[in-house]
Structure 1
Amino acid sequence: MLTRNLALAGIWMAMTELSATQLIIGFALGYFVLWFSPGLAHRSNYFRRVGQGLRFTGFFLRELAIATARVAHDVLTPTPYMKPSVLGIPLDAETDAEIAMLAIVVTLTPGTLALDISSDRKTLYIHAMYVSDPEATRREIKQGFERRILELLR
């Protein structure tokens, strides 16, 4: 279904102009064409996955904005609010893709950095700049990023 959607987006882009904007518009139009095609929407998980991907992207962008504002506030004020800590996050993620995506998202978020994975692949070690409660930080990562990544990839 993704291939069909990309093909429809490519056709749209070829008929209009070669630009990223037209590719996005073509992708959205292709998505709706496939959605309303008889029998296709009910036979594929593609439509559910696209929705999950969009929700994950929205969640990540919100978390990115919050973390950026927190770091910017700390940099611009004379009093530092940092409480840095290295934490071990117990993982429910099992595959290389799940663990790698979690580590990437944590590292892309300002104020956090994925450091290492344990040899048994059950714990992800991170450095976080703002840890007033280690358990709350673990919960935020597990219930926020990890849960959504597992929903997206499984």
Structure 2
Amino acid sequence: MIEEAGVVVSTEGRYALVRVERRTVCGGCAAQGACGTSLIERFFGRSSTQVRALNQAQASVGERVMLGISERGLLSASFAVYFVPLVGLLGGAFAGEALLAGTAESAWTDAAALLGAAFGFALALFWLRGYSARSRNRSEQHAVVCRIERSPPVQILPWP
């Protein structure tokens, strides 16, 4: 289980909306802020995000909690988001090029590869939309409020 700390912003039925601060690994690195990652963080600033999670711990607004998501769920979602569009893009490009290979001049073959790549990428995004809708029913891909951290409640400020 991968865990991250957050603060409950609101609750609705079985779910809680939890604000999570984004972290980078700069604190544990030997470069200590002299790399591109720290430059990006300084430019964009540290921001927070809100996650809708199943409230198994029955947390209340303002409580610090630990969110969890299974490694398998995160891995399968990452695979779908990163790998499938790449395969669609490359597969479409190869298919478009193979369609006109040897029958036309290279400019038309390149154009067919470009159109095939765009079509393959669009198909992959269409598939990803369906995958996202189907994953809402998978419990392994849901964030869960695992436990309440025993610390004083936090005052909730309005979302920026």
TM-score scaled by length of structure 2: 0.32
Q: Which has the larger radius of gyration?
A: 2
By relative contact order (CA 8 Å, sep 6+), the higher-ranking structure is 2
**Higher strand share goes to which structure?**
2
**Higher helix share goes to which structure?**
1
TM-score scaled by length of structure 1: 0.33
